[in-house]
Amino acid sequence: MEEARGIQYGDRREAPIGVFDSGVGGLTVVREILHQLPAERITYFGDTARVPYGSKSRETIIRYSRQIIRFLMTRGVKAIVVACNTASAYALEELRPQVEVPIIGVVKPGAKMAAAVTRNGKIGVIGTEGTISSGIYTSFLKDLRPDMQVLGKACPLFVPLAEEGWLEGEVPMLVARSYLEELCHSGIDTLILGCTHYPLLRPAIAEVMGPEVTLVNPAYETAVSLQNLLQEQGLRSPGIHKGTGPLCEFFVSDAADWFNRFAGRILPAGITNTRQIPIEEY
């Protein structure tokens, strides 16, 4: 994926980190990166015209992800975070050899963290149809500990609930109860929120699962992995920001105003400058 870069940074360390998701969910990962790596610039792309990814085929997700990576490369990014579990499951390993900057997803860090916190080796994973049917969490968890028992459950309605901002009250509780009932009685002590939208529904999920079950949000460990990666590659920002552009920039494939409003609920500082781009042209 050799790309002519639109923006060049004299000092590569000053370049932004590209982060993408199918929509707004990846902002939960941005929030964590901003918290752990406050000196870094971020260029975010949310594929709001083509969300959801969770019910689409592998081939489609690879094509979408390839276009987004091409776009991010035109912004001169120094590394890429695939802040979408479905894209991490379907597209990351396929595209990695073609990408000329370091790239990480959210699945491996999430699996690593869950393996570290479980006491009884029984882990639940909730995510989109695509992530769960790919079996990717199970395979990473079993690589870490072969005797691990992993139970997966797709919870597709959580995504539109999160996108609608319907995060509390009767409806999310009802949906959470109905999806999670089986997992509640399965003996798991750890549950991976294997979809970037699900941390937004954390209160409902936590209430249904009860205090004995630790909820793992892969965003935290993803930011830790990113920090290690940047360090290893000598790409940590010196934090001077002399040059090009703002600290964070946001792009979407549709509905920039709606994205601005939604982002204000997730990120500490509101955003107003989201731009819509024709992602199919990349």
- One residue of 18, 25, 172, 218 binding ligand DGL per CB under 6 A: 25
List the interface residues with ligand DGL, window 125-184 (CB under 6 A).
127-128, 131, 159
- One residue of 195, 200, 201, 208 binding ligand DGL per CB under 6 A: 195
Specify the stretch interacting with ligand DGL by CB under 6 A; choose among 83-91, 92-100, 170-178, 248-256. 83-91
Nearest-approach distance from CB 82 to ligand DGL, in angstroms: 9
- One residue of 20, 22, 92, 220 binding ligand DGL per CB under 6 A: 22
What type of residue is 243?
G
Active-site residue flag, 84: yes
Residue 217 binding ligand DGL, by CB under 6 A: no
Nearest-approach distance from CB 44 to ligand DGL, in angstroms: 13
Active-site residue flag, 195: yes
Specify the stretch interacting with ligand DGL by CB under 6 A; choose among 35-43, 45-53, 64-72, 94-102. 45-53
Nearer to ligand DGL, 22 or 274 (CB): 22
Residues that bind ligand DGL (CB under 6 A): 21-22, 25, 51-54, 84-86, 127-128, 131, 159, 195-197
